[in-house]
Amino acid sequence: MAFVTHQFVRKMVSSAARSAAVRHVTVIGGGLMGAGIAQVAAATGHAVVLVDTSEDILRKSTAGIEGSLKRVAKKKFADKPESGEQFVQKVLKNISTNTDAASAVKSTDLVVEAIVENLRVKQDLFGTLDKVAPDHTIFASNTSSLPISDIASSTARLDRFGGLHFFNPVPMMKLVEVVKTSQTSQETFDALVEFSKVLGKHPVSCKDTPGFIVNRLLVPYMMEAIRLHERGHGSKEDIDVAMKLGAGYPMGPFELLDYVGLDTSKFIIDGEFLHGLGHRAAVSLKVCLTDVVTLGWHAMEPENPLFAPSQLLNKLVAEGKLGKKTGEGFYKYK
Ligand X SMILES: NC(=O)c1ccc[n+]([C@@H]2O[C@H](COP(=O)([O-])OP(=O)(O)OC[C@H]3O[C@@H](n4cnc5c(N)ncnc54)[C@H](O)[C@@H]3O)[C@@H](O)[C@H]2O)c1
**According to the binding rule CB under 6 A, does residue 326 interact with ligand X?**
no
In terms of DSSP bridges, do strands 95-98 and 294-295 run parallel, antiparallel, or are they unpaired? Answer: unpaired
> Considering beta carbons, is residue 143 or 155 the nearer one to ligand X?
143
Q: CB of 164 within 8 A of CB of 176?
A: yes
**According to the binding rule CB under 6 A, does residue 144 interact with ligand X?**
yes
Report the C-alpha gap between 330 and 327 in whole angstroms: 10
Q: H-type helices in 213-319, by residue range?
A: 214-230, 236-247, 253-260, 262-270, 279-284, 297-300, 311-318
Near ligand X by CB under 6 A: residue from 92, 121, 218, 274: 121
Site string for ligand X, 214-253 (x = CB under 6 A): ----------------------------------------
Element (H, E) at 26: strand 24-28
> Considering beta carbons, is residue 142 or 310 the nearer one to ligand X?
142
* Largest separation between any pair of C-alpha atoms in the chain: 68
**According to the binding rule CB under 6 A, does residue 116 interact with ligand X?**
yes
Catalytic status, residue 165: yes
Crossing angle for the helix pair 262-270 and 214-230, to the nearest 10 degrees? 100
Q: How many Cβ atoms are within 10 Å of 10's Cβ, its own excluded? A: 10
Q: How many Cβ atoms are within 10 Å of 334's Cβ, its own excluded? A: 3
Catalytic status, residue 177: yes
Near ligand X by CB under 6 A: residue from 31, 64, 127, 234: 31
CB of residue 230 to ligand X, shortest distance in Å: 25
> Considering beta carbons, is residue 69 or 114 the nearer one to ligand X?
114
**Residue 23 DSSP SS3:** coil
Catalytic status, residue 113: no
**According to the binding rule CB under 6 A, does residue 196 interact with ligand X?**
no
| Contacts for 288 with CB less than 8 Å, ≥ 6 apart | none
CB of residue 173 to ligand X, shortest distance in Å: 9
Residue 237 φ/ψ, nearest 5 degrees = -65, -45
> Considering beta carbons, is residue 7 or 168 the nearer one to ligand X?
168
Catalytic status, residue 94: no
Name the segment binding ligand X (CB under 6 A); options: 86-94, 161-169, 290-298, 302-310: 161-169
DSSP 159: G
> Considering beta carbons, is residue 77 or 267 the nearer one to ligand X?
267
* Residue of 144, 145, 154, 265 with catalytic role: 144
Catalytic annotation, residues: 144, 165, 177, 215
Interacting residues with ligand X (CB under 6 A): 28-34, 51-53, 57, 101, 114-117, 121, 125, 142-144, 165-168
